[in-house]
Amino acid sequence: MLTLTTGSSNDCTRVSRRTFLQVGGLASLGFGLPQYLQARAASTAPARAKRCILLWMQGGPSHIDTFDPKPDAPIEIRGEFATIPTSISGVRFTEHLPNLAQQAHLFNLIRGHDPKNGSHGAADALMLSGHKFNASLAYPTYGSVIARERGFVDGMIPFVQLGKHIDRRFNGGIAGILGDEYNPFEVHDDPNNPNFRVRDLALTTDKERQRLDRRYSMLNDLEAYQRGVEASAVPVRARDTFYEKAHAIITSPAAKKAFDIAAEPAKVRERYGKTPLGQYCLLARRLIEAGVQFVTVTDGGWDTHANNFKSLKERNLPRLDSALSALLEDLNQSGLLDETLVVWFGDFGRTPKVNPSAGRDHWASAGVAILAGGGLKRGEVVGQTNALAEYIIDNPVTPADLAATIYTALGVPLHTWFQAPDGRPIELCPEGKPVRQLF
């Protein structure tokens, strides 16, 4: 088995004996020590983006009724919405995204997004990892990879998920083969609730703190009793690491302060929108400012088989327009957008033809995605669908390509290798290619 992992016994070149032997084996393939060291140096190059906020719209947003409208198509295709111009010449959005239309020059629009899938659950696994669903192998989601590669910074949680709108039936949105210690710290409560408290961080009295310390001490005693027998077990090591880090975070004033969304001025909270999506986006901004590496914001209600236009007009689009535009505006004004990658997408697109229930069904041949900041260009429109929004006719971008673009922007080499629990080597992104138009 050929792996590019390093051992713990290093010489002055910081190459372990095990690695040296592996490289020797690679020499027969024309890959010698100089080339290996050069590849290692490249793999540790500084990241373009220091952090990432990913907005996951569970259910599958309609590409036609959001960022890829077809105003000249027949009524049964174009639907009920009019279109409006954007800050990019010749590019139009649906009329219900006025704020984002004014900000189009700040982000990149992937109109050539080819979802390659039209099934819920499998979409969560595919879109949140870049890998097709595999029943025998749970591929890690983006935030888990970043958590593993970068670890904790200044004691802050590396990976946070806001909201519960991820379908886990097919292992979407989890650490998978990387181990439980790299799963997200999840916050499911609505920040609009006056009594909003982040579970496990709400230690309000000395008595609660003392109780936590006692429980942690008892847990340590219990774990020590079993450790001698189970020391080699991967789940136990992951659990130990999780407990240690979780205790440090729970007792961290910095973490508690970052989650204190009530500290934001009322006008700011209103600008983001007093909706779960709006307040999660505001909370995501606070978290990345505090040192969190990766935040996944989830939002549901995008599976519009019936009453598509009513749902989008009255709920989904106004929420999205307020939340995402406020997030981009704040990050841009503070200078953080240059070093923060912002990604928006969902399961897949929706059927070009409106169904008898005034809805749109699942569509695996076309969709839409947004990428902003993180050192990428701005105002680029990648790809194109045909006149009826049925399929891609120019520059298709697959989920694997999106993954490659995300990892490249974040400075993670696409040929990073992990080891599955059964010993199999797993390549991070073997099929995807970065969207070069954005770099």
Give the pLDDT score at 369. 98
User: Does residue 273 or residue 25 have the better pLDDT?
Assistant: 273
C-alpha to C-alpha distance for 186 and 8, rounded to whole angstroms: 33
Give the pLDDT score at 9. 34
DSSP secondary structure letters along 18-38: HHHHHHHHHHTTT--HHHHHH
Choose the weakest-confidence range: 68-82, 119-133, 211-225.
211-225
In this model, does residue 206 exceed pLDDT 80?
no
Over residues 230-254, mean pLDDT: 58
Q: Which helix (H) or strand (E) holds 162?
A: strand 159-162
Which of 142, 41, 192 shows the shortest CA–CA distance to 345? 142
Give the pLDDT score at 29. 41
Q: Which residues contact 220 (CB under 8 A, 6 or more apart)?
A: none
Give the pLDDT score at 26. 41
In this model, does residue 19 exceed pLDDT 90?
no
In this model, does residue 53 exceed pLDDT 90?
yes
Give the pLDDT score at 289. 96
Q: For residue 155, what pLDDT band results from cuts at 50, 70 and 90? A: confident
Yes or no: say if 360 and 385 are a contact pair by the CB < 8 Å rule. no
Which of 59, 118, 79 shows the shortest CA–CA distance to 353? 79
In this model, does residue 59 exceed pLDDT 50?
yes
Using CB atoms within 10 Å of the CB of residue 364, give its burial: 0 to 12 exposed, 13 to 18 middle, 19+ buried: middle
Whether this prediction's pTM lies above 0.85 is answered by no
Over residues 42-67, mean pLDDT: 85
Q: pLDDT per residue over 382-398, tens digit each?
A: 999 999 999 999 999 99
Over residues 274-288, mean pLDDT: 98
In this model, does residue 217 exceed pLDDT 70?
no
User: Does residue 404 or residue 221 have the better pLDDT?
Assistant: 404
**Which sequence spans correspond to the domains of the chain?**
51-194+256-438, 204-250
User: Does residue 229 or residue 357 have the better pLDDT?
Assistant: 357
Q: For residue 185, what pLDDT band results from cuts at 50, 70 and 90? A: very high
Q: Look over the chain and give the mean of its residue pLDDT values, rounded to a whole number.
A: 86
Give the pLDDT score at 211. 56
Task: Please give the CATH architecture assigned to the domain spanning 51-194+256-438.
Answer: 3-Layer(aba) Sandwich (3.40)
Over residues 297-322, mean pLDDT: 98
> Strand, helix or coil at 383?
coil
C-alpha angle 335/339/345, rounded to 5°?
Answer: 110
Candidate ranges 110-124, 189-203, 235-249; pick with highest mean pLDDT:
110-124
Q: pLDDT per residue over 318-347, tens digit each?
A: 999 999 999 999 999 999 999 999 999 999
Continuous H helices in 259-334: 266-272, 276-290, 308-311, 317-334
Give the pLDDT score at 154. 78
Share of the chain above pLDDT 90, in %: 73
Q: Which residues contact 87 (CB under 8 A, 6 or more apart)?
A: 101, 102, 103, 104, 105, 379
In this model, does residue 176 exceed pLDDT 80?
yes
Q: pLDDT per residue over 250-271, tens digit each?
A: 567 888 899 999 999 999 999 9
C-alpha to C-alpha distance for 268 and 266, rounded to whole angstroms: 5
Give the pLDDT score at 198. 86
